[in-house]
Amino acid sequence: MTTTSVTGTGSGSPLSSLINQPAPTTTGNTVLGENDFLTLLTTQMQNQDPTQPMDNTQMVAQLAQFSSLQETTNLANAFQSFQSTFSVTQMAGFIGKSVTVDTSNGGQNNGSLISGTVGKIEVQNGQPYFTMTDANGNVISDSNGNPALFTPSQIVTVG
């Protein structure tokens, strides 16, 4: 991110208007995060008027907002990790059970209901997927001959 200058320390300054936005803020293809906040704060401090330095209370308030942003980000990451772990643990309970999946929403085998027994659970990008075997014990495959991967949201019946 390139910043040419940021001036002003009042409530109408460019930095305070960015700080008061929910974080991270997405504008186009750019996401403002912790590093951008520090860059803006540093730039503001470097470009302040020496005869009217930044108010200490405002600087403390901005640092407190940064701390809040950082903790919110950490909490969101921890929750995402918990959610992923919970999904995998929940899917482990389906191993060996008969399920029917609906593949009509962009799934495999041209959009149909497929029944089988849940075989193995795989995790890709934090999301659980499972394979199934048919009534003969053969792994259900996709059109390329690879084991078909199904998501928990595709399950329509269990048992």
CA distance 152 to 101: 9
pLDDT of residue 17: 45
Contact 25, 73 (CB under 8 A): no
For the ranges 6-15, 105-114, 127-136, the lowest mean pLDDT is seen at 6-15
CA distance 109 to 114: 9
Specify if 145 maps to a domain: yes
Domain that holds residue 28: 14-89
Specify if 6 maps to a domain: no
Span 110-124, pLDDT tens digits? 568 899 999 999 888
CATH at 106: 2.30.30
Specify if 126 maps to a domain: yes
Span 4-47, pLDDT tens digits? 444 444 444 444 444 444 444 455 556 667 788 788 878 887 88
- The residue ranges of DSSP E strands in 30-104, in sequence order, are 30-32, 98-102
- Asked if 70 and 106 sit in the same domain, the reply is no
